[in-house]
Each structure stands twice: as structure tokens, then as C-alpha cells.
Amino acid sequence: MNTKIAIALDFDRNLLKRRNSWLTKQNRRSSTLALVTRRLTYIHNINCERKPSE
């Protein structure tokens, strides 16, 4: 019984490691996307604020 639990835990741990590395890759990709979008929205907002005053 205990060996089965140990094997299951080990399997879960390996799965988690693999999943975490995949998640960090995805997170890196999505965070750069988020940064770019934030910058674009910021620039867009500045441009929108500038137009009425001209």
C-alpha cells in the first residue's frame, strides 16, 4: 500500500515539474504580450488625450 502511494506521489511530482516548466514558458510569453499591450494602450490613451486639446 505504502509503495503504491510513494510511486503515485513520485509520478505526481514529475508531472508537476514538467507542467511547471511548461507553465513558466507560457507565462514568459504571456507576460511579454501583456507588457506590449499595456504599453500600446498607454500610448493610445496619451494620443487620445492629446487630440481634443489641439
Average pLDDT, 10 consecutive residues per value, the chain (54 residues):
81 84 85 88 85 58
- Supply the Cα-derived Rg of the chain in whole angstroms: 23
> 19 is in which domain, residue-wise?
3-50
Domain count across the chain: 1
Neighbouring C-beta atoms of residue 7, cutoff 10 Å: 10
Q: What pLDDT, on a 0 to 100 scale, did the predictor assign at position 47?
A: 85
What is the C-alpha to C-alpha distance for residues 35 and 40, in angstroms, rounded to an integer?
9
Give the 3-state DSSP-derived string for the chain, with helices as H, strands as E and coil as C.
CHHHHHHHHHHHHHHHHHHHHHHHHHHHHHHHHHHHHHHHHHHHHHHHHHHHHC
pTM as predicted = 0.42
